[in-house]
């Protein structure tokens, strides 16, 4: 199994709990399936198998995460959580990303 498939497998495991929350679904973004709340993506597995989440800039810095890069530029509120960090860290940060996007999405 390659890293992308492993990352998707971890995301699917986390999704079982998240999808029980109100207004959540699996949606498409950046050629990947990701978790969304009211249509806004908050977490997805990247091509490299890492978790990508939407969080406030200050929180990304506090967690020591790198920003997602797109076309050579960092994406301000999008952070990368390495596959190697494991399912527990992914779950914790995904829950935080859900809460953040839920709070800013009408």
Q: Which CATH number fits domain 3-104: 3.40.50, 1.20.1250, 3.90.1150, 1.20.58?
A: 3.90.1150
The tens digit of pLDDT for each residue in 14-62 reads 999 999 999 999 988 767 889 999 999 999 999 999 999 999 999 999 9
Q: Which of 64, 7, 59, 15 is nearest to 35 (CA)?
A: 15
| Every domain of the chain and the residues it spans | 3-104
What is the 8-class DSSP label of residue 85? G
pLDDT the model gives residue 30 = 66
Q: What percent of the chain has pLDDT over 90?
A: 86
Distances from the Cα of 91 to the Cα of 14, 41, 68, 69, 70, angstroms: 6, 16, 18, 22, 24
């Amino acid at each position: 199994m390659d890293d992308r498939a492993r990352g998707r497998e971890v995301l699917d495991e986390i999704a079982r709990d998240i999808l029980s929350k109100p207004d959540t679904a699996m949606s498409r973004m950046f050629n990947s399936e990701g978790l969304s709340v009211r249509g806004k993506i908050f977490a997805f597995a990247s091509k490299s198998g890492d978790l990508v989440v939407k969080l406030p800039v200050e929180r990304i810095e506090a967690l020591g995460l790198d920003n997602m890069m797109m076309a050579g530029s960092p994406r301000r509120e999008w952070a990368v959580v390495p596959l190697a960090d494991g399912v527990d860290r992914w779950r914790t940060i995904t829950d935080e990303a859900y809460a953040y996007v839920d709070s800013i999405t009408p």
